[in-house]
A and B are shown apart, each in its own frame.
Chain A
Amino acid sequence: MAAPSLARGMLVRTGLTGPFPRSEALVAATRDLDRGRTTPEAVEAIYAVSEGEVLALEHRLGLDTVTAGYLRPSDLFRPFAETWEGFTVGPLTRWFETNTFYRQPILHAPPVRVPGAFAARLPPPLRAEPTRARAILPGPYTFAGLLDNRSGETEPALIHRLGRLLGEEARELRAAGFSSVQFTEPLLVVRPPEGPRAEAVVAGYREIRSALNGGTSIVWTYGADAGPAYPLLERLPVSVVGVDLADTDPEGIPEGRGGAGLGLGVIDPRTTLAEDPAEVARLVRALYERRRPPEIWLGGGMPLDLLPYEPATRKVEVLAAVREALAAGGRP
């Protein structure tokens, strides 16, 4: 991973936190493939070009972690639901408060991980640049909570088991040279767990931390105000916890010292209105002063594929501009 920017005492890292939109060329190609008007080989070539374009954008803007866009997976769970044993792919289900849908994984028996299956589905350019890459997986709580559990296993047991299995994925990624692994966990703030579920989440992330062996573990949330979930978020044994400022009341982020890095979703893909970098920088610095985290990680809140390609590109440029504004001295 590249060295973080030092912005007036803050260590600031930037990076995309979810899939980037498909380019209009890729939209046309995948549509044509769906309708039998082109070949998988032709679409594969466009995927390769598109991944290269996103990666080039991430490099040009100096983002600290890169993703190559995660353009291929149909949803966050499909790489697992289609490859791990115990799953089938179920009905279309709404993805939180968006007009996008995922196919709900149906779990018929305790899941069994298939080694190498997820890594094989990572964007090919990432495998060539693993130290700067951000691998993005579902978090165990969101995975367990959004699948249709017909396995007979209780939800807390399943959360813990998925933590262990996802930890094994992280171990495999770490061995392949990946240094940053993000676990996407909107459900942690949309439906904060309590009691045994909350304990299972913490236990699951202990498994992940152990498996990551010094790598950076990121929990990224969005979709609701993170304030009520903070008591649990602060217990997670991870490197960074990200919250979406489009949904989170900044005043509800508690004061603190040290602990995990503070991730902030500062660009909102639900609107094409560009954020004001100076205004965002002021907010980030105020939150930094209040919480004094070891690092600030800036990214999108919800995934940027809620936008068309061009507006998403402009939004990512805002991310870089915020970093510059912080370096120039955004004041609380």
Chain B
Amino acid sequence: MTDRKLFPAQEIGSLAKPRWQILAQRGEPLDARARAELSAADGRLSFAGPLAPVRDALLDGRSREVGPDAVRDLAALYFLRYLEEAGLDRVYDGEARRIEMYEYPIRQMHGFRFLGHVRSFDAKYYLKAAVTDEVRLERPYHVEEFDFVRAHARAEPKLPITGPYTLADWSYNEYYLARQAGWKGRSARRAAQRDFVVDLARRAIRPTLAALIEHGSRVIQIDEPAAGTHPDEADLVVEGFNAATDGLDAEFIMHICFSNYRDLLPTLLEAKRCRQWAWEFANRDSNDHDGYEVLRALRDYGDSREVGLGVLDVHRDTVETPERVAERIGRAAKHLGDPGRIWVNPDCGLRTRSLEVARAKLGAMVEGAALARAAYENPRR
């Protein structure tokens, strides 16, 4: 398919924000721990470079003088170097400027009202909004963020953006559901959801993607973690994806996690401009359960797209060994029938893990990919 090396590595989403970023963005002076972390990180990665004056001001206790935008720039630079130093071939900025993947895009649109927090699991929550009016984009988003990454990344940038189906599924549908007559049962909800997804795709996501491409973004990951929530709405995921990417030229990836992928197939394969499936597998993989077996379904359907292979469980601190990663890659390659289509990545964003644990996991991933590569390139060793 390409002349890329076997099993290149990519990031997949957000990382935990370092303490120095959190304090400095609030305008608070760094405490001793945050100063030590910033100094140690810069000592190891030499990331500050053109932003050395910002780093120095933070270390001098002048957070307020620096301002939050410069802090975010410094953090974005930190994450670029953090991921590059880990050996990744595709990187982004750890989503250093984003609050999370739902609230930020929604705040760039007209038609929503935030209502409060909803629990996702354990003590993890997200702020949830209702759509109360027709969706309209206020302004394309992630563009300045991407400009910064493009200007500073040494590895290939891959931009993540939340997809229309997920934004719709994670919102309460008031406006479009109210337009449905009668009892708001399953069929009314589905019709309203389709209207909502298509409006989001056409009116908000597509213009944003077009602006990003105009600014040079070539690899764009459309995150649809909600895709598996309602398997009978896989056609809406596809319709949203196709409407959002209609007429656009870029390398599009669809990221889905914590879903039963078989339930989405073969409908999902109708996503026309999707070049890579980036899915979570490691969370469900154990010694007595093959989490990668579902890849056989792609082969059975004759799908020849790339696969972004989740090889790191992002919900556990246990660091996978390189050997475990390599074994997973080898097993996945057998299921898929083509090692040349595999990229490796964490299951999802590593933001729920500490930066130390995340770095150790990423290191194991890159090392494991190298082991797997060596095994394929020198099969007799």
Chain A residues near B (Cβ < 8 Å):
21-22, 24, 27, 30-31, 33-34, 74-75, 91-94, 97-103, 148, 150, 225, 245-247, 249-250, 268, 270-273, 275, 279, 283, 305-311
Contact = CB atoms under 8 A, between A and B. Distances in A.
Interface string B102-144: 0000000000000111111111110010100000000000000
Interface in B282-333: 283-284, 288-289, 313, 315
A94 B118 contact: no
27 contacts: A21-B119, A27-B117, A34-B122, A74-B121, A91-B315, A93-B258, A94-B228, A97-B231, A99-B118, A99-B120, A99-B170, A100-B120, A100-B121, A103-B121, A148-B289, A249-B185, A271-B177, A272-B115, A273-B172, A279-B183, A305-B118, A306-B118, A308-B115, A308-B116, A308-B128, A309-B116, A310-B115
Nearest to B175: A273
Given A31-B123, A94-B259, A268 B118 contact: no
Given A27-B125, A101-B258, A246-B184, A307 B118 contact: yes
B324 to A, nearest CB: 16
B281 to A, nearest CB: 11
A271 B125 contact: no
A91 B283 contact: yes
A311 B115 contact: yes
The DSSP consensus for interface residues of chain B is mixed
Contacts of B183: 250, 279, 283
A246 B188 CA distance: 10
B120 to A, nearest CB: 6
A309 B127 CA distance: 11
How big is chain B's contact interface, by range? 35 or more
Contact of B118 (A21, A34, A247): A21
B268 interface: no
Contact of B172 (A33, A75, A246, A271): A271
Given A91-B315, A270-B189, A272-B174, A24 B117 contact: yes
A101 B121 contact: yes
Most chain B CB within a 10 A radius of its CB, from A31, A92, A93, A273: A92
A113 B73 CA distance: 55
A33 B123 contact: yes
Contacts of A250: 183
- List 10 tightest A-B contacts by C-beta distance, closest first: A308-B116, A101-B121, A34-B123, A272-B172, A30-B123, A27-B117, A97-B230, A308-B115, A91-B283, A272-B130
A308 B172 CA distance: 11
A92 B118 contact: no
A27 B128 CA distance: 13
Nearest to B121: A101
B381 interface: no
A99 B226 contact: yes
B120 A101 contact: yes
B173 interface: yes
Contacts of A33: 123
Most chain B CB within a 10 A radius of its CB, from A21, A97, A308: A308
Given A21-B118, A27-B125, A101-B121, A273 B186 contact: no
B270 to A, nearest CB: 21
Given A27-B125, A74-B121, A99-B118, 7 more contacts: A21-B118, A27-B119, A91-B315, A92-B121, A246-B185, A272-B172, A273-B177
